[in-house]
Amino acid sequence: MPFKTRFTELVGVEHPIVQGGMQWVGVAELASAVSNAGGLGLLTALTQPTPEMLRKEIARCRSMTNKPFGVNLTFLPALKPPPYAEYAQVIIDEGIKVVETAGSNPGEYIKKFKEAGIVVIHKCTTVRHALTAERMGVDVVSIDGFECAGHPGEYGLGLAILLASAAKQLKVPYLASGGIGTASGLAAALAYGADGVNMGTRFMCTVESPIHQNIKQTIVDSDETQTTLVFRPFRNTSRIFKNKVADEVNEIEAKPNVSFNDIAHLVAGTRGRQVYTTGDPNFGVWTAGQVIGLIDDIPTCQVLVSRMVTGAEDIVHNRLSKMIVAKAHL
């Protein structure tokens, strides 16, 4: 029997599992597969070079699933930012029902999405930020622990503490993100008070993921110690796979008076993208969460979602319920 939460009711999905937005990974093949499995798949808007190409990708995804799916739009600092307003307008024009926002200063876009009747999920790395997002009118918060791939914030807060704190303070539904990839992770997140889970790295390592098979196998062969943090000196911390390039970046960052220009040639996004296409895990930097230590196979999205849900049900109904001891009547 599927779990019914505030999140599943709000977005109309069968299971409380979301495939988070991932640059170069969140394309129609993956998003539709997750949605067809009963979760919520997300296209990553900025993976598409132009707003019009996002429009075409939305159409492609609709041709692959009749289930709900959404779009991620991440706002990152850049000297020449993408045309965010145009991407947002495509999302609205195409009648997308769910948007995941992330990054800095999304307020004006959240307002536009809400005016268009879109359910907005916003990613936060502290409960303080989550409360701000709640006041801005978001419908769901994705609480990202320090274990997560990509940008985990600057406070080093683990997911368990964040979820427990969110349960006491947030009124809107929230998702657990970072370190989730198993049935026990889903069960634990729901026990903490979350209404679902958001997974990135775990969905990278599925049959439908568009990345090279060698990278998927690298994830399978790695353990939880094989990620590292970069960009700490610039307060733009990112968790990536610990490879030769990452080690070189860390060595440079440890030097006094380091600037971003000192590492720019190593962390170029084009190099990271080629990792996924060429299959060389040492060619550039690429994001991965600590959950790589829990990934030991490459299933289809259907198999992954199904076994997480059935496994979590088993944990709740069998293992945990058997630990409850009835009080003896005196």
- Please indicate, yes or no, if residue 101 is contained in any of the structural domains: yes
- Report d(CA 155, CA 281) in Å as an integer: 28
Average confidence (pLDDT) over 228-241: 96
Question: Is the confidence at residue 198, as pLDDT, over 80?
Answer: yes
Tens-digit pLDDT profile for residues 101-139: 998 888 999 999 999 999 999 999 999 999 999 999 999
Compute CA distances 243 → 266, 280, 288, 321, whole Å: 12, 10, 11, 43
In whole numbers, what is the pLDDT of the chain averaged over residues? 96
Nearest to 179 by CA among 287, 289, 286, 102: 289
pLDDT, residue 326, reads: 78
Asked if residue 120 lies in contact with residue 113, where contact means CB atoms within 8 angstroms, the answer is yes
- Please indicate, yes or no, if residue 52 is contained in any of the structural domains: yes
Helix (H, G, I), strand (E, B) or coil at 181: coil
- Please indicate, yes or no, if residue 62 is contained in any of the structural domains: yes
- Please indicate, yes or no, if residue 215 is contained in any of the structural domains: no
Compute CA distances 121 → 33, 78, 172, 317, whole Å: 20, 23, 10, 30
pLDDT, residue 259, reads: 96
Q: How confident is the model at residue 199 (pLDDT cuts 50, 70, 90)?
A: very high
What CATH code is carried by the domain that includes residue 120? 3.20.20.70
Within a 10 A sphere around the Cβ of 265, how many other Cβ atoms? 8
Tens-digit pLDDT profile for residues 33-81: 999 999 999 999 999 999 999 999 999 999 999 999 999 999 987 778 9
In sequence order, what E strands does the chain have?
17-19, 41-44, 69-75, 98-103, 119-124, 140-144, 174-177, 196-199, 227-230, 238-241
- Please indicate, yes or no, if residue 260 is contained in any of the structural domains: no
149 backbone dihedrals φ, ψ, rounded to 5° = -75, 160
Q: How many domains does the chain have?
A: 1
Question: Is the confidence at residue 5, as pLDDT, over 90?
Answer: yes
pLDDT, residue 77, reads: 75
Classify the C-alpha dihedral 32-34-37-39 as positive or negative.
negative
Residue type, 29: E
Average confidence (pLDDT) over 216-236: 97
pLDDT, residue 42, reads: 98
Asked if residue 141 lies in contact with residue 110, where contact means CB atoms within 8 angstroms, the answer is no
Question: Is the confidence at residue 329, as pLDDT, over 70?
Answer: no
Compute CA distances 103 → 73, 122, 123, 152, 188, whole Å: 9, 9, 8, 11, 27
Question: Is the confidence at residue 229, as pLDDT, over 80?
Answer: yes
Tens-digit pLDDT profile for residues 298-313: 999 999 999 999 999 9
pLDDT, residue 330, reads: 56
Average confidence (pLDDT) over 218-235: 97
- Please indicate, yes or no, if residue 231 is contained in any of the structural domains: no
pLDDT, residue 294, reads: 98
- Please indicate, yes or no, if residue 136 is contained in any of the structural domains: yes
Domain that holds residue 88: 6-208
Tens-digit pLDDT profile for residues 155-186: 999 999 999 999 999 999 999 999 999 999 99
- Report d(CA 64, CA 94) in Å as an integer: 16
pTM of the complete model: 0.96
Residue type, 212: H
Classify the C-alpha dihedral 87-89-94-100 as positive or negative.
positive
- Please indicate, yes or no, if residue 15 is contained in any of the structural domains: yes
- Report d(CA 154, CA 177) in Å as an integer: 16
* Secondary structure percentages of the chain, helix, strand, coil, to 5: 45, 15, 40
- Report d(CA 267, CA 254) in Å as an integer: 16
- Rg of the chain over all Cα atoms, to the nearest angstrom: 19
Average confidence (pLDDT) over 273-289: 96
